[in-house]
Structure 1
Amino acid sequence: MNWVDFSGNAYLVAFALYCFAFMFYVIAIAGSKWSNRESKTHTKKWGRIAFTVSSVGLGAQLVYFFTRWYGSGQIPTSNMYEFMSFLSMAIMIAFTIIYAIYRKPILGMFATPLTVIIVAYASVFPKDVQPLIPSLNSYWLKIHVTTAALGEAFFAVGFAAGLMYLLRVVDYTRKDAKARKEQRWIEFTMYVIVVVVGFIAIVFSFRGAGYEAHFTQENVSVDSAGQTNTTQEEVTYSLPPIFKPYNSEVVSMDSFLGMNKPLLETPSWMNGINAGRKLNTVIWSIIAGSILYGLLRLIFRKPLGAVISPHMDGVNPNDLDEISYRAIAIGFPVFTLGALIFAMIWAQEAWGRFWGWDPKEVWALITWLYYSVYLHFRLSRGWQGHRSAWLAVIGFVIVWFTLIGVNLIIAGLHSYAGV
């Protein structure tokens, strides 16, 4: 049996089950209003069904994880496809733990779509098993990456609960300046989520159409002896090139809506691995996400936050505030171990130093300091409610930039994660 292929099938099953679980959570929360049934009984029944389905989905994803590990002979966390897949699984593990504590089905209505988005996001990256580079060939890969991702997963659940809190307490009927400002920021958060969905849609659309553009990029580097070395690299795009790679020439490209050549060149200061292709994808994601967001606004004729907010009636905001804090409080020590302590031990073993100001290391430290400040304000200053919720939402944006943005803008020792 080809265990890697089998793991891919299990991954698709998990994705489908998460989608169904999300629909069942929506029925659990909003369905009682549609059916005019007794709210608690309806929510409890469908919440149990949704949790069962999401748990089976988690089981299928665990099957994916261990069968891919067995088939490839290495833990599947070494590239973006494998890491983001593991992160989505870790979010479901974190959600399951928090759900077991609080028994709040509404949390599933936000945690499962977040998982679905990350599963779909992972699927746009190459799925082939890639040999481990020397610096990754260590048992610390299993320890460092898994614990760091699990800590980030709890931060993601904290983000979901924080966003839910804001959608619950913000009054969309108010028109004063303070209320409008808060409504705009919530709407911006919803827009960013739609842009991520647009990214997934646009990548799969062009990939399904078989679009390709090929470039030859010339890379110039200076070695330790001061000699200049020039190498050429083949770069392939699966989206029409609004931005071509820096210092590159077109080999061939498919025409799209009259676009027969790249419009712009990637700035030279964006020197992360495959920066041109990633920048091009980001621009297309914003375009696709903006179009999708505009269509949703036309359909609902109101901000997306205002569409979701009424379905939060009856939910105790204090429970959401507590869930957000509890998830972050659990994730913080796990992240500290995985992203800092274990990472430094591995860095000493792999590169001969505990700390080297690598961009990924710096942003991991920034993330840790941010959540340290969050816990300090929460416990020492009594920052609860709105302040705590916004800190939880902003914190996950920092996590996301650490995972994605650093690889786009800056080259470093962790740039292999962008492959």
Structure 2
Amino acid sequence: MNEQVLSNLSMVTSVVVYLLAMFAHAAEWASARRLDPAAETVEGSVTETASQRVAERELVAAGAGGGSVVEAPAAETLDSHPDGTGGADAPAEAGAVRQRVESFGRIGFALTVIGFALSVLGVVLRGVAAGRAPWGNMYEFTTAAMVFIVAVYLVLAGRFRMRWLGLPVTLLAAIGNGLAVTVFYVAVAPLVPALHSVWFLIHIVAAAISGAAFNVGGVASILYLIKRRAENKGAVRGYLTRLPEARKIDVIAYRFNAFAFPLWTFTVAAGSIWAEYAWGRYWGWDPKETWALVTWVIYACYLHARATAGWRGRNAAIIGIIGMASFWFNFIGVNLLFAGLHSYAGV
């Protein structure tokens, strides 16, 4: 069994593991349907909140005059609940729900780490089998891009407690690697002459890193729109209670897009220098070059609108999502639909 076969096996297995991680995070979101929004947004348990209400009632009763003691109505005590169910069981039930949600989340995160390790192994073995950097075609770039995206998520989840990105990121990783091993796959082959340049490494690495940031920003924008809609309706329930406020998610999306934009600018510039080395011109309006510029313009509009027109929130999120869609069309759609000098990177 050679390195190429082992690489393929690792990639196929990573798709299965990412799917399992996605299902675990989906179960995490589904289990959170019974979470009490008040219990999740206010520090302290349901029991403490009820105890505070009883204590406040006793203080009011003590000062009601004549020193008489007024007992709290039975329906308001911890042993009863207005709907006739045992209110004393509510804190325990809420704790069980939170524990279930947390367990599914940890399982999803652990599976994501395993899927990431398998993807890294697959990319490394592909490079060993090819005897070069494993970024020479659409299959190789897709698998490498998924490694960068999941790596960013793992850092955010482990260091900054942003595990709420787990469901969309594992969905994206499963789809990306799944397409790579089923639709984009090509056997290991030598690089075409145009790729024999140091700019090959510089351009591709910059594109992969900026693409990872754009995708995290786009995912955050989608979650922002969902959370904002719930907040406007006053219906923040279930797993949405565990997400930050909508305005904070908007800031997260902005920071990732703002980080990625100058790096994407460098990617386009490096590609132009590489084009001059390979084809004798800096810019030729090749479909890939043209759509890379379109993507750049969309994100330039995003940052300009936020800085000058005050387009924060919904409008900015929509532009960010359009930018992410443009990035993926440039990455996949152009290769599949148009012929050009970049056709060597196709399937």
CA distance in 1, matches of 2:303, 2:261: 9
Show CA shifts across 1:224-279 (max 9, x none).
Answer: xxxxxxxxxxxxxxxxxxxxxxxxxxxxxxxxxxxxxxxxxxxxxxxxxxxxxxxx
Alignment partner for residue 117 of structure 2, among 56, 59, 75?
A: 59
CA contact (8 A) 2:116 2:150 kept: yes
Residue 390 to residue 398, structure 1, CA distance change in 2 (3 Å): same
Matched, 1:334 2:263: yes
Runs of 5+ consecutive residues of structure 1 not aligned to the other structure: 175-308
TM-score, length of structure 1 as denominator length: 0.62
| Aligned equivalent of 1:164 | 223
Matched, 1:395 2:323: yes
Show CA shifts across 1:88-124 (max 9, x none).
Answer: 2222123223334531222111111011111111122
| Aligned equivalent of 2:137 | 79
CA distance in 2, matches of 1:34, 1:58: 31
Matched, 1:386 2:310: no
Alignment of 1:396-411 (within 5 A): 396-411=324-339
Kindly report the root-mean-square deviation, in angstroms, between the aligned alpha carbons of the 2 structures.
2.7
Residue 353 to residue 98, structure 1, CA distance change in 2 (3 Å): farther
Cα displacement (A) at 1:171: 5.6
Task: Determine what percentage of the aligned residue pairs are the same residue.
Answer: 36
Matched, 1:144 2:73: no
TM-score, length of structure 2 as denominator length: 0.74
| Aligned equivalent of 1:90 | 148
| Aligned equivalent of 1:371 | 299
Q: More deviation in 86-95 or 99-108?
A: 99-108
Cα displacement (A) at 1:172: 12
CA distance in 1, matches of 2:232, 2:153: 32
| Aligned equivalent of 1:10 | 10
| Aligned equivalent of 2:176 | 118
Query: Secondary structure at 1:414's aligned position in 2?
Result: helix
Show CA shifts across 1:286-332 (max 9, x none).
Answer: xxxxxxxxxxxxxxxxxxxxxxx965345322232222222222222
CA contact (8 A) 2:130 2:190 kept: no
CA contact (8 A) 1:168 1:312 kept: yes
Matched, 1:30 2:30: yes
CA distance in 2, matches of 1:69, 1:342: 23
Residue 169 to residue 69, structure 1, CA distance change in 2 (3 Å): same
| Aligned equivalent of 1:20 | 20
Alignment of 1:119-134 (within 5 A): 119-123=177-181, 124-134=183-193
Count the aligned residue pairs: 286
CA contact (8 A) 2:218 2:320 kept: yes
Query: Secondary structure at 1:349's aligned position in 2?
Result: helix
Runs of 5+ consecutive residues of structure 2 not aligned to the other structure: 36-92
| Aligned equivalent of 1:321 | 250
Alignment of 1:349-368 (within 5 A): 349-368=277-296
Higher strand fraction (1 or 2): 1
Residue 117 to residue 104, structure 1, CA distance change in 2 (3 Å): same
Counterpart residue identity of residue 73, structure 1: G
CA distance in 1, matches of 2:332, 2:317: 23
- Asked which structure has the greater CA Rg, the reply is 2
CA distance in 2, matches of 1:26, 1:46: 9
CA contact (8 A) 1:28 1:105 kept: no
Counterpart residue identity of residue 13, structure 2: V
| Aligned equivalent of 1:416 | 344
Residue 12 to residue 407, structure 1, CA distance change in 2 (3 Å): closer
Cα displacement (A) at 1:53: 2.2
Query: Secondary structure at 2:122's aligned position in 1?
Result: helix
CA contact (8 A) 1:162 1:324 kept: yes
